[in-house]
A and B are shown apart, each in its own frame.
Chain A
Amino acid sequence: MSIFLVGLNHKTAPVEVRERLAFSDAACGESLRALVDGELVREGLIVSTCNRVEVLAASAGPQAPDAVGRLSDFLSRVRSVPVELFSGHLYTHADEAAVRHVFRVASSLDSMVVGEPQVLGQVRHAYSLAVEAGTAGRVLHKLVHHALRVAKRVRTETGIAASAVSVSYTAVELGRKIFGSLKGATVLLVGAGEMAELAAQHLAGAGASRLLVTNRTYETAQRLALAFGGEALEFPALEEALAQADVVICSTGARDFLITPEMAERARAARRNRPAFYIDISVPRNVDPAVAKIGNLFVFDVDDLEAVVASNLREREREAERAELIVEAEVTQFQQALRDLDIGPTVGALKEKLQRIARDEFERQRARLGPLTPEQERAIEALLMSTVNKISHPVIHRMRRSYDAGEEGEVQAWRDVFGLEERGGDR
């Protein structure tokens, strides 16, 4: 039995190619049924997202080379795209490499932004489509379930998805670091701008309950307040608003500092020293850097936030290395499980049969041996079992070797020699 995979992703193929090969859910099921013929390809699954199109298949034998050719022909046929157009962008993986790839994709190690959470859901969705189409068999069941487990392990045991990788989300993250929870926090938006609005939205999403908006032109403030469900304030009320705000987001086109250390100091005193978080997204800056020197006030400008994003990305890369180790260990484990999935019952049946023969013979001759002490009885039992094991050991070894080499015919021959039924076969 072997697993193979053909696909392309954001790294290997431009969007013009990816979009032509992408599958809709409906097309997916139909194509899967066309792919699985019960001969060469026994099981199939298609992952199709905006960043990747991958066809995963399991076959009975180790015919990976023709299978790969078959899969690209299949892609070309069902999507009506000539092979030449995408063959240069394809990657192909067989067996262990295919398993590794699936684990890496599910764990978001192969994603554009490493650690992003969507891909796991996409893999799960692809699997449910294959289950619906009836093209997921015991190999893919096992593979996908294992992949989901690996993804979960990677998420909980590494910090791969721990930190924010966008400026606006970083603002939320830092807010959480300072306030613990943003529930009930008051956010003050000074000026408007795409990034500031996005940050305000994220903060509201994280539980901030009150939004104050002020702007040089009061109408703009009113418009924003209406859009986000906040309160508009006249611009001169800025200082009063500072005293109420836990988070202040500045993004105006002012040429000089709007928030001076004196203002911030007065606001801090009015807030009885509760911490405040100033996010200054404007260039030139609106918050005097001297404000950062005041205790319990934390000021981050655009460069600071971007530096945090960059360091978070580096942190993710570092954590990804640890994740790769987890994936590697799990691949080995899965390969072992897969081997046992197939050869296990045969080995068990063989041992059981030989042992039964030995025991039956012993029972038949038992009467002639006369009375035996328990020690003698145990000695005979041990003698029989070790003889059986010594005889069956090289046979089992050969069987495993044939199985690992994919020589199913050979394995079947051994089964025939010992008169074993094939158990736990394809469902």
Chain B
Amino acid sequence: MKPFLYAALAGYVIAATHAVLSFVNKRRASERLTLYAAAFGFAAHTGSIIFDWARDGHYPLFSTTDALSFLAWTLVVAYFLVTFRYPLRALGAFLLPAVALVVLGSQLVSPDPGKVPSSVTGGSGSWLFPVHVTLLLFGYASFFVAFAASVMYLWQERELRLKKFSAVFHRLPSLTTVDDVASTAASVGFTLLTLGIVTGVIWSRARSVRMFHNDPTEFFALLTWVVYLALLHFRVQWRGRKAAWLGVGGFTLVLCTFAGAIALGGFHVFR
């Protein structure tokens, strides 16, 4: 449903603008407006996804447009979960502009393909595919949160070392908080990624016996999985700066995975 999605986009743009404004200017009024606009955008977005589902008769996750839009939706879910749990309003200044851009991007990529190949929607184990994609997109959203928190960590750590503080420094939450958020988000993301990969492999086997198709997405997904595994395994020794750098690096790989699906072609593209 386009009108719903456009309404959502408008809400996100307003929310993003005010999140950045309140980050730079410390305005309470902007903070409230950010929350309301994001909530409105989220409601409209949810409506749009439900309508699409009802219209197409299948889970709306088969085209790039759908996947991007759903990714934005998971990011907003992550935003609400994090800000509800942690004093991390500053996250909005990083995350909401990304959400607005992703929704916008979803409308700019090639239009809906119309028909989805029956090889994807049908066949044995077809229920696994939506599970696979949903898990992964939520995983990517978690990694984005870990990435944003890591950037906040590195930014502040640098200023603490140089002993020169910018105005932004005072708007960011404490090192312990962002470190905490980054590690929680990374472990949640890792769990989802693992489950996503497993369901993908099972689904692929059920459909075509082959477990892997050697396409870029699979390659990057496995690499990402290894990096986050290392991050979580060495969590204790690497607390702080090193962990933050890994959070940034891991997210770069996530971007490659996602870009791989869209740009590099291969099995993971259904267009």
Q: 1/0 per residue A137-162: CB within 8 Å of B? A: 00000000000000000001111001
Interface size class of B (residues with CB under 8 A): 20 to 34
Contacts of B241 in A (CB 8 A): 295-296
Tell me the bound Cα distance from A292 to B160 in angstroms. 10
Interface-lining segment among A20-28, A176-184, A209-217, A380-388:
A176-184
Q: 1/0 per residue A268-293: CB within 8 Å of B? A: 00001111000000000000000010
A-B contact count, CB below 8 Å?
62
Interface-lining segment among B7-15, B76-84, B166-174:
B166-174
In the complex, whether A379 has a CB less than 8 A from a CB of chain B is: no
Interface residues of A in 293-317 (CB under 8 A from B): 295-296, 298, 300, 304, 307-308, 311, 315
Contacts of A355 in B (CB 8 A): none
Beyond A162-B170, A176-B174, whether A304 also contacts B163 by CB under 8 A is yes
In the complex, whether A166 has a CB less than 8 A from a CB of chain B is: no
Interface pair A307/B240, CB less than 8 Å apart: no
The one of B170, B237, B239 that contacts A163, using a Cβ cutoff of 8 Å:
B170
In the complex, whether B55 has a CB less than 8 A from a CB of chain A is: no
In the complex, whether B175 has a CB less than 8 A from a CB of chain A is: yes
What total of chain A residues lie within 8 Å of the partner, measured CB to CB? Answer: 27
The one of A159, A272, A307 that contacts B163, using a Cβ cutoff of 8 Å:
A307
Tell me the bound Cα distance from A311 to B240 in angstroms. 26
Interface pair A179/B174, CB less than 8 Å apart: yes
Tell me the bound Cα distance from A178 to B240 in angstroms. 11
Tell me the bound Cα distance from A304 to B240 in angstroms. 22
Interface pair A159/B164, CB less than 8 Å apart: no
Tell me the bound Cα distance from A272 to B243 in angstroms. 14
Interface residues of B (CB under 8 A from A): 25-28, 156, 160-161, 163-165, 167, 169-170, 173-177, 236-242
Could you list 5 further interchain pairs (A-B, Cβ under 8 angstroms) beyond the known A159-B26, A162-B26? A159-B170, A176-B174, A295-B241, A295-B242, A307-B163
What are 25 A-B contacts defined by CB distance under 8 Å? Answer: A157-B25, A157-B26, A157-B28, A158-B26, A162-B26, A162-B170, A177-B174, A178-B160, A179-B175, A180-B173, A180-B176, A273-B236, A273-B237, A273-B240, A275-B175, A275-B240, A295-B240, A295-B241, A295-B242, A296-B240, A298-B160, A298-B161, A304-B163, A308-B163, A315-B167
